[in-house]
C-alpha cells in the first residue's frame, strides 16, 4: 500500500491508500472544525480569509491565517524532503518517516489538545494543518499525483470531467481506464465522508482523544504493509530454495 511508488503502483494499491488516508483526512478535518472552527485539510478558505483580513486591516488575524497556510506548506515541504532523502538510500522505506511523523502529531494533539484548546487553539490548528500537508504531499508523491486525500475540490472537478468523458470515449481500453479513475475518486470522496462522520461522532464522546483513532489506523496501515512485505519476501525465498 505505502511501499511501492510511481509507475510500480497498482490500481489496488492506490485504492487502498486512498481509502485509508481519505478516511483519516475526513476525521481530522471534522475534529478540527468542531473543536476550533478551523478547516485543517486545505488552505483555500484560509487564503480567502487572509486577503479579507488584509483589506479590513486586522493584522493579527491576518498573521494567523498566514501561519495556517504556511504550516500546510511546511508539512508538504518536510514530507517531500524526507521522501527524497530516504529514496536515495533505501527506496523501499520512503513512506515510514512521513507517516510516523503524522502519527506522532495526531497523538500529540490528542493528548495535549484538551490543555491547549482554550489558551493556544492556533497551535493545535497549525499542527493539524502541518500533518495534513505532510499526508497530502506523501500520497501525491508516491502515487504520481493520481491520489490526493485532504481536499475534495479537485476530486469533484476530475470526477465531473471523467463522467463527461464516458459519453464520448467508446474504446474499451479508454472506458476501462475511465471507470477505474471514477471508482477511485468515488472511493476517496466516500471515505472522506465516512471519516468526517466518524470524527464528529467520536469527538462528542472523546474530544481530542478521538484523533487517536486515525492515528491508530495509520499505524495499522504501516504494520499491514510491513507484514505483507515480509510474507512476500518469505514466499520468494521459499520458492527460490524449492527450485534449487
For residues 54 and 62, the answer to whether their CB atoms sit within 8 Å is yes
| In-domain check, residue 236 | no
| In-domain check, residue 237 | no
Q: Please state the domain count of the chain.
A: 1
pLDDT at 27 over 70: yes
Cα–Cα distance between 119 and 110 in angstroms, integer?
16
In which domain, by residue range, is 86 found?
6-151+195-228
| In-domain check, residue 217 | yes
CA dihedral sign of residues 154, 157, 163, 168: negative
| In-domain check, residue 12 | yes
In the chain, which residue ranges form alpha helices assigned H by DSSP?
11-36, 44-55, 59-87, 96-116, 121-142, 153-165, 172-206, 212-243
| In-domain check, residue 240 | no
For residues 196 and 150, the answer to whether their CB atoms sit within 8 Å is no
| In-domain check, residue 201 | yes
The string of pLDDT tens digits covering residues 30-74 is 999 999 999 988 888 898 889 988 988 888 999 999 999 999 999
Exposed/middle/buried for residue 107 (C-beta within 10 Å: 0-12, 13-18, 19+): middle
| In-domain check, residue 160 | no
Q: What is the pTM of this model?
A: 0.88
The string of pLDDT tens digits covering residues 87-112 is 777 666 778 889 999 999 999 999 99
| In-domain check, residue 70 | yes
Amino acid at each position: 500500500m505505502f511501499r511501492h511508488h510511481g509507475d510500480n503502483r497498482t490500481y489496488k494499491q492506490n485504492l487502498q491508500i486512498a481509502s485509508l488516508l481519505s478516511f483519516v483526512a475526513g476525521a481530522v478535518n471534522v475534529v478540527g472544525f468542531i473543536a476550533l472552527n478551523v478547516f485543517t485539510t486545505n488552505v483555500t478558505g484560509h487564503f480567502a480569509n487572509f486577503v479579507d483580513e488584509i483589506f479590513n486591516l486586522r493584522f493579527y488575524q491576518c498573521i494567523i491565517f498566514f501561519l495556517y497556510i504556511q504550516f500546510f506548506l511546511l508539512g508538504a515541504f518536510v514530507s517531500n524532503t524526507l521522501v527524497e532523502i530516504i529514496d536515495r538510500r533505501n527506496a523501499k522505506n520512503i513512506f515510514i518517516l512521513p507517516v510516523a511523523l503524522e502519527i506522532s502529531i495526531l497523538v500529540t494533539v490528542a493528548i495535549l489538545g484538551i490543555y491547549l484548546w482554550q489558551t493556544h487553539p492556533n497551535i493545535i490548528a497549525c499542527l493539524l494543518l502541518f500533518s495534513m500537508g505532510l499526508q497530502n504531499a506523501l500520497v501525491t508523491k508516491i502515487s504520481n499525483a493520481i491520489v490526493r486525500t485532504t481536499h475534495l475540490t479537485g476530486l469533484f472537478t476530475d470526477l465531473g470531467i471523467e463522467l463527461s468523458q464516458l459519453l464520448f470515449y467508446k474504446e474499451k481500453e479508454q472506458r476501462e481506464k475511465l471507470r477505474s479513475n471514477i471508482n477511485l475518486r468515488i472511493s476517496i470522496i466516500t471515505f472522506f465522508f465516512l471519516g468526517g462522520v466518524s470524527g464528529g461522532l467520536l469527538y462528542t464522546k472523546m474530544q481530542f482523544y478521538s484523533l487517536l483513532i486515525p492515528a491508530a489506523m495509520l499505524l495499522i496501515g504501516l504494520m499491514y504493509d510491513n507484514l505483507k512485505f515480509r510474507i512476500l519476501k518469505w514466499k520468494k525465498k521459499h520458492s527460490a530454495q524449492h527450485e534449487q
